[in-house]
Structure 1
């Protein structure tokens, strides 16, 4: 993999230095939290630390000062070893690149949504927020009330880790929310009461809202995912509603021993059927979804882009066409749909 991002060569040795872990990871409070995560959390909850590790080790393009702390040592070391191996083998795709592209796509689409006429001062809801740090990273949230929804144990662990950062030598500005307000809502979106808990926490159904579902839908069953999407789509009749989400296609769900369930081969058809009027779909590697990180024409994602989406296996070698779709949808005719 080669290219430039913000003037920085993505295959430069300075991009991938030796792993240096912050001293705070070895404090008693932080070690205890991550030990609990390793011992007690399920795969879905632990995935939030894996995603944070991706942001940490691709920090040269994402700029997340809190990612190391939230990821924990084991996930950082694991991903760092994969990156070293990929570079040694001259891999066309470096481990974590999908997480990096996905994060940058969501960041850019969120900023665009909030800068639109209907998006100014909109609420932002992150379902399955995990160790997300957008409220601390993105100044575009300065006029937005942000709600992070996740399991109570995830939100508590995150709060404990951030409190440890506040009490340490971390720069104070790194752990100050940039959002107008930040509210954490303990709820399981697989259950029927998450919207009620969200509203009890201050969410206003009649106010313009940007919903972020990053890395969460495919962990749900078909019925659970459709219930969540339908609840969000129902808000289209009340107010301007924007949705940012990623969808796996069917072949992608077969790669991880049934960890993944929900899929949609055609989310750009699914979302209009439940109430969204504007839908734009991108694939990893598209012009708006590579950010200078996927310039090799022979990398997996570029090869897939040339294959019709209707095909489940690649015509050249018979391998599954595993796709990740990045989808933005809205309910208002005057919402920019680039």
Structure 2
């Protein structure tokens, strides 16, 4: 990095020059991430990319293990994107959408848990990836958390966290904030994932928040609908809250897209499946802003000012790629309109 570039970045001390933690440079952790790079597919690798984004947006997301879960390669790659955006005065710095999404899920999860009047609560992270909420959110102190994902991903995650806990450096104070944490090896595209979840201690009759962050659009339409219907069916047994993000069709049909499932109207879809209360936000809305969307000409602010039926931006002819943040709920006594 040139002195001029370094100076531009240091004007805002939010973006300091990247410093790789010593633990990440150890032979043990480097060997683990080498295995990840060589053996994981694009879906699994996206978990490391998400962790890297959270690590680099640490001024708003306080995740004590995001850097270890991301790995040196993804940290450096993500930091390079942020560096270029800052130098070019980009209206949207790389990772801002991930930061807003994370903060939205955090805030809605806490609110959902507070809405449960009594009894023990459960939080299920479907397609948990490298999520570390069980180690960083105090609102989970009375909740039993279940992480559901591929067997080899969960095993690697466990091994990396064990290395972090044993480290005598910056991670020595790492402790779990959730009441309990159970990792469930299952593919949510299979028919038996709920059965495996139950065998691991999940109770259908207990109040539950289901977190589906950054996972729905990787699924086929068939698998996504099956997952949503399975969760909706739980509304008949207990107070159920679903937190999920949905892409619209324009996003998934881009030429380089690796995504499949989409919904232009998730606030219409979810009631048809059995949820009685659905609230939808877009990036930049009052509850999906967090002080990170100040520029009125930011891409996401521009999209919010267009009707959701508009698929192509009238100013430049580019597709209107939207991300919807959706909260839905239901209970045994609900009345579906």
Q: CA deviation at 1:171?
A: 5.2
After superposition, the CA RMSD in angstroms is: 1.7
Q: Give the conservation status (yes or no) of the 8 Å contact 2:120–2:206.
A: no
Q: Give the conservation status (yes or no) of the 8 Å contact 1:114–1:120.
A: no
Q: Distance in 1 between matches of 2:11 and 2:215?
A: 32
Q: TM-score, normalised by structure 2?
A: 0.93
Q: Distance in 2 between matches of 1:258 and 1:214?
A: 18
Q: Give the conservation status (yes or no) of the 8 Å contact 2:51–2:69.
A: yes
Q: Distance in 2 between matches of 1:333 and 1:294?
A: 38
Partner residue in 1 for 2:73: 74
Partner residue in 2 for 1:312: 311
Q: Distance in 2 between matches of 1:77 and 1:131?
A: 17
Alignment of 1:1-338 (within 5 A): 13-118=12-117, 121-170=120-169, 174-255=173-254, 257-332=256-331
Q: CA deviation at 1:117?
A: 3.3
Once the two structures are superposed, residues 94-113 of structure 1 have per-residue CA deviations (whole angstroms, 9 ceiling, x without a partner) of 00000000000000000000
Q: Give the conservation status (yes or no) of the 8 Å contact 1:49–1:131.
A: yes
Q: Distance in 2 between matches of 1:104 and 1:316?
A: 30
Once the two structures are superposed, residues 214-234 of structure 1 have per-residue CA deviations (whole angstroms, 9 ceiling, x without a partner) of 000000000000000000000
Q: Distance in 1 between matches of 2:84 and 2:136?
A: 30
CA distance 1:244–1:174, shift in 2 (3 Å): farther
Once the two structures are superposed, residues 240-264 of structure 1 have per-residue CA deviations (whole angstroms, 9 ceiling, x without a partner) of 0000000000011123624100000
SS in 1 for 2:13: helix
Q: Distance in 2 between matches of 1:125 and 1:49?
A: 20
Once the two structures are superposed, residues 290-310 of structure 1 have per-residue CA deviations (whole angstroms, 9 ceiling, x without a partner) of 100011000100000011001
Q: Give the conservation status (yes or no) of the 8 Å contact 1:118–1:208.
A: no
Q: Distance in 1 between matches of 2:118 and 2:302?
A: 35
Q: Distance in 2 between matches of 1:141 and 1:60?
A: 22
**Mind listing any 5+ residue stretches in structure 2 that lack a counterpart?**
1-8
**Mind listing any 5+ residue stretches in structure 1 that lack a counterpart?**
1-9
Q: CA deviation at 1:287?
A: 0.7
Q: Distance in 1 between matches of 2:268 and 2:169?
A: 46
Q: Give the conservation status (yes or no) of the 8 Å contact 2:232–2:274.
A: yes
Q: Which moved more, 1:214-223 or 1:163-172?
A: 163-172
Q: TM-score, normalised by structure 1?
A: 0.93
Q: Give the conservation status (yes or no) of the 8 Å contact 1:113–1:119.
A: no
Q: Distance in 2 between matches of 1:65 and 1:273?
A: 39
Q: Give the conservation status (yes or no) of the 8 Å contact 1:49–1:75.
A: yes
Q: How many residues matched?
A: 326
CA distance 1:89–1:258, shift in 2 (3 Å): closer
SS in 2 for 1:312: coil
SS in 2 for 1:114: helix
Q: Which moved more, 1:110-119 or 1:269-278?
A: 110-119
Q: Distance in 2 between matches of 1:45 and 1:266?
A: 27
Q: Give the conservation status (yes or no) of the 8 Å contact 1:119–1:209.
A: no
Extract structure 1 runs of 4+ deviating beyond 6 A.
Answer: none
Q: Give the conservation status (yes or no) of the 8 Å contact 2:275–2:330.
A: yes
Q: CA deviation at 1:118?
A: 4.3
